Amino acid sequence: LNKTYSTALKSVTTVQVNGKEYRADDYTNITPKITSYINRNLHLKKDNPLSLVRQRIVNYFYASFTHGGNPVFSVYDNLSPIVSTRQNFDDLLIPEDHPSRAKSDCYYINASVLLRAHMTAHQSELLRSGLDNFLMIGDVYRRDEIDSTHFPVFHQVDAVRLQRKEHLFVNHPDLNIFEPNYDPTNPHTFTNSISDPSKQSCHTLEATKLMEGQLKNHLIGMVKVLFGENIKYRWVDAYFPFTHPSWELEIYYENNWMEVLGCGIMRNEILANAGPTNSIAYAFGLGLERLAMALYKIPDIRLMWSTDDGFLSQFQDRDVNASIEYKPVSIYPHCTNDLSFWLPPTLTIDTFMSNDFYDLVRDIGGDVIEQVKLKDKFIHPKSKKHSLCYSIVYRHLERTLTQAEVNKVHEDIAAATVKAFNVAIR
Ligand code: FA5
Ligand code: MG
């Protein structure tokens, strides 16, 4: 892939990602910078804090569910992040017009292939292959704002636990997973509804409540293993197209409620499409970065990507359960430069795609970009021309940047902005 940006991409007919060539189209918005994060596999690097948290979560799941002394859960942590829109959306009942499919939110290789936006993208294919208890761990990609807790690549742990009637109701063989009017051998003759907030219409309340209890217990157990017995938490009702009912778990951490994960009872249509009948399943997905930042007091999400020994050595050769507090090697000063421009007549302050701009800034500036924030919007009273002003915060994590260095990057960003969006610098 050549150095190209969304508007310039129209001239590119193919893109190379991970050694494979793909047809490009008007959905293509993956950038060379983003492509460079594929295969970094931070979650598998022994000294990376994300890997320590991953191991603790996997160990917890291995220990919680055993059969004849063997772990019941299997772990998939090396699945390719290049997925189809079917895997990322359709298989999960995400509607055609759902905002999460927008070009402004995902990195598309073309209209039918993208970098997965969540690990749930692999749920259906793994169910189809016959698995019933599994964890999916890896890097996910989302176009987002830029600050100390957001990065366009982060890591998730997703899980599915499927239970058959005999296992769920060991002590109550008289109870059922499904309502009498649902026939598991003929699932597609039943229109499943989620209009009742407490359950899906195909499931019995007993099965739903029992699964909910197990799901919540297992997840509370996990945060207690990570943060200690006394961690304060709360459940918040949530909505996901692929689960019902759904919840989010928040923990009280350093005077704030922090969202840790989303979860719920899997929509029965997904199971019916993928194979298993006669069972009910729960699923969850959590972000490793937030947990690692909280556990190890890591102040900036970009540090996860550091290859600097001053960072990695603090996590090297440590017991995975060791309590580690990250000590900043030193804090280097930041430097803020503003960029103001007039939009071309074809764009307004409301239609300008800020995520396209953020990607461009990160592409040119690389990892010295700490934050980009909209500072001012302005419509000229006479000419009616629209203008935007962004503040770009520059900081190197491992040394002091000189003003000359920052100015050079800033000028390059300005020039690329003019070229990509046809704006006029003020
Ligand atoms: C999802 O991605 C769902 N796939 C989760 C799920 C799986 C729900 C299975 C139900 C069943 P969400 O976008 O909320 O949901 O992300 C899940 C978790 O990823 C969040 O709770 C958070 O811990 C983490 N996360 C999400 N966005 C970011 C981000 N920009 N930076 C860091 N972590 C994030
Ligand atoms: Mg969420």
Q: Which residue is closest in CA terms to ligand 1's atom 26?
A: 287
Say if residue 403 is in the same domain as residue 350: yes
112, 167, 118: which is closest to 141 by C-alpha? Answer: 118
CATH of the domain at 288: 3.30.930.10
CATH of the domain at 350: 3.30.70.380
Say if residue 191 is in the same domain as residue 133: yes
Asked whether residue 354 is domain-assigned, the answer is yes
Average pLDDT over residues 133-140: 98
Q: Is there an atom of ligand 1 within 6 Å of 94 CB?
A: no
Q: What is the DSSP letter of 147?
A: B
Q: Is there an atom of ligand 1 within 6 Å of 243 CB?
A: yes
Say if residue 139 is in the same domain as residue 190: yes
Q: Is residue 41 predicted with pLDDT exceeding 80? A: yes
Q: Residue 327 has what pLDDT?
A: 83
246 against 399, higher pLDDT: 246
Q: Which residue is closest in CA terms to ligand 1's atom 22?
A: 287
Q: Is there an atom of ligand 1 within 6 Å of 100 CB?
A: no
Asked whether residue 176 is domain-assigned, the answer is yes
pLDDT in tens, 162-189: 999 999 999 999 999 999 999 999 998 9
Asked whether residue 349 is domain-assigned, the answer is yes
Asked whether residue 45 is domain-assigned, the answer is yes
Asked whether residue 352 is domain-assigned, the answer is yes
Q: Residue 9 has what pLDDT?
A: 52
Q: For residues 159 and 71, is the Cβ–Cβ distance under 8 A?
A: no
Q: Residue 43 has what pLDDT?
A: 97
Q: Is there an atom of ligand 1 within 6 Å of 240 CB?
A: yes
157 bridge partner residues: 137, 286
Tokens representing 239? 């909505």
Q: Is there an atom of ligand 1 within 6 Å of 233 CB?
A: no
Torsion angle of the four alpha carbons 401, 407, 411, 412, in this order, in degrees rounded to the nearest 10: -20
Q: What is the DSSP letter of 124?
A: H
Secondary structure of residue 274 in the 3-state scheme = helix
Average pLDDT over residues 66-83: 93
Asked whether residue 244 is domain-assigned, the answer is yes
Say if residue 222 is in the same domain as residue 340: no
Say if residue 77 is in the same domain as residue 169: yes
What is the CA(329)–ligand 1 centre distance, in A?
A: 30
Q: Residue 330 has what pLDDT?
A: 59
Probe ligand 1: pick from 89, 98, 118, 143, max atoms within 8 Å of CB?
118
Q: Is this prediction's pTM over 0.90?
A: no
Probe ligand 1: pick from 141, 148, 234, 240, max atoms within 8 Å of CB?
240
Q: For residues 257 and 273, is the Cβ–Cβ distance under 8 A?
A: no
Domain boundary among 282, 301, 320: 301
Half-sphere exposure of 66 (CA within 13 A, CB side): 8
Q: Is there an atom of ligand 1 within 6 Å of 260 CB?
A: yes
Q: Cα separation of 316 and 351, whole Å?
A: 47
pLDDT in tens, 373-396: 899 999 999 999 999 999 999 988
- Domain holding 412, by residue range, is 331-425
Using the CB atoms, write b or e for 198-227: b if 16+ within 10 Å.
Answer: ebbbbbbebbbebbbeebbebbeebbebbb
Helix (H) or strand (E) holding 294: helix 288-296
Q: Is residue 4 predicted with pLDDT exceeding 50? A: no
369 bridge partner residues: 394
Say if residue 348 is in the same domain as residue 250: no
Residue 228 CB burial class (10 angstroms; 0-12, 13-18, ≥19):
exposed
Those residues with Cβ within 8 angstroms of residue 234's Cβ, 6 or more apart along the chain or in another chain: 249, 250, 252, 257
Q: What value, to the nearest 5°, has the Cα angle with vertex 239 and ends 237 and 241?
A: 155
Average pLDDT over residues 126-153: 94
Least confident of 60-69, 97-106, 179-188, 317-326: 317-326
Say if residue 251 is in the same domain as residue 341: no
Peptide bond into 32 cis (omega under 30): no
235 bridge partner residues: 249
Q: Is there an atom of ligand 1 within 6 Å of 287 CB?
A: yes
Q: Which ligand sits closest to the CA of 263?
A: 1
Q: For residues 259 and 235, is the Cβ–Cβ distance under 8 A?
A: no
Asked whether residue 140 is domain-assigned, the answer is yes
Tokens representing 415? 């020039």
What is the CA(241)–ligand 1 centre distance, in A?
A: 13
Q: Is there an atom of ligand 1 within 6 Å of 262 CB?
A: yes
What is the CA(263)–ligand 2 centre distance, in A?
A: 10
Average pLDDT over residues 13-31: 93
Q: Residue 45 has what pLDDT?
A: 95
Q: Which ligand sits closest to the CA of 250?
A: 1
Probe ligand 1: pick from 83, 101, 106, 120, max atoms within 8 Å of CB?
120
Q: Is there an atom of ligand 1 within 6 Å of 284 CB?
A: yes
Q: Is residue 3 predicted with pLDDT exceeding 50? A: no
Tokens representing 336? 């803020």
Ligand 1 atom closest to the Cα of residue 117 is 2
pLDDT in tens, 192-232: 999 999 999 999 999 999 999 999 999 999 999 999 999 99
Say if residue 132 is in the same domain as residue 267: yes
Q: Is there an atom of ligand 1 within 6 Å of 143 CB?
A: no
Average pLDDT over residues 81-87: 98
Least confident of 100-109, 232-241, 309-318: 309-318
